[in-house]
Amino acid sequence: MIECPIVDELDCNGWDVRKALHLFTRTNVALLEWLRSPIRYVERGGFAESLRELAPRAFNPTALCYHYGHMARRNVRDHLMRDQVKLKKHLYVLRPLFAVIHLERGLGLPPVAFQALVDAAAPDAIRQAVARLVERKRQSPERGLVSPIAELDGFIATELGRLDGTYMGAGRPDMLDADETRNRLNAVFRAVVRGQLAHRKRHGGV
């Protein structure tokens, strides 16, 4: 893991290339969401774009559903089991549940942007309640609190009940068993190494 000291609003972390490629084969959610984030400050070389192109064909939807279901359940336990809840904590539960629905509908990797995910996967019955919550979040301070929201809490309880025990024990099929994926990832690794060696030569490195 590569971590840098937090300076002001800059919080930098990541992995070396080999570790990142291994995590890619394991459908690592953090890596996939970083690759597809709509916010990109700096991107050099073709490493990220190569993985971005391969991800829709190589990810494991079962692994993602397990991750997002577990995330929703943990966030409910940690943040929603009280009389007053931070506005953003509702979003932290709704987002992974919408991501599971997106995957179950066969729509591919869930969008990173919350509104895009709502547009693609939120049930019609709760869209107005979600829109009201998002608008309140925009207008409220970071620590804005709300009482339980019956429409959303009912949806959350129903979805967690539906997902209970689902996607458990299926494991994560090894992507490296797929020749195309293995060959593409090896090619990506070689391209990064060649690029780094060329960079060092141009700048007088060893």
Q: What is the pLDDT of residues 30-82, one digit of tens each?
A: 999 999 998 888 888 889 999 999 999 889 999 999 999 999 999 999 988 88
| One domain for residues 102 and 195 | no
| One domain for residues 66 and 152 | yes
**7 domain-assigned:** yes
Q: What is the pLDDT of residues 153-205, one digit of tens each?
A: 999 999 999 998 888 655 555 555 667 888 899 999 999 988 876 766 777 65
| One domain for residues 116 and 70 | yes
At CB < 8 A and 24+ separation, what contacts does 152-158 make? 152/90, 152/94, 152/126, 153/80, 155/97, 155/123, 155/125, 155/126, 156/72, 156/76, 156/80, 156/93, 156/94, 156/97
* Number of domains the chain contains: 2
**Residue 72 is which amino acid?**
A
Q: Which residues are CB-contacts of 31 (< 8 A; sequence separation ≥ 6)?
A: 15, 20, 23, 24, 51
| One domain for residues 54 and 126 | no
Structural domain that includes position 54: 2-59+178-202
| One domain for residues 69 and 45 | no
**171 domain-assigned:** no
| One domain for residues 48 and 71 | no
| One domain for residues 30 and 120 | no
pTM metric for this prediction: 0.87
| One domain for residues 51 and 91 | no
Token pair recorded at residue 27 = 């459908």
**159 domain-assigned:** yes
**187 domain-assigned:** yes
CB atoms inside a 10 Å sphere around CB 16 = 10
**110 domain-assigned:** yes
| One domain for residues 24 and 113 | no
| One domain for residues 98 and 157 | yes
2-3 and 13-14: which strand pairing?
antiparallel
Task: Measure the CA–CA gap between 114 and 117, rounded to whole angstroms.
Answer: 5
Residue carrying structure tokens 């009912």: 154
| One domain for residues 93 and 7 | no
Q: What is the pLDDT of residues 92-121, one digit of tens each?
A: 999 999 999 999 999 999 999 999 999 999
**170 domain-assigned:** no
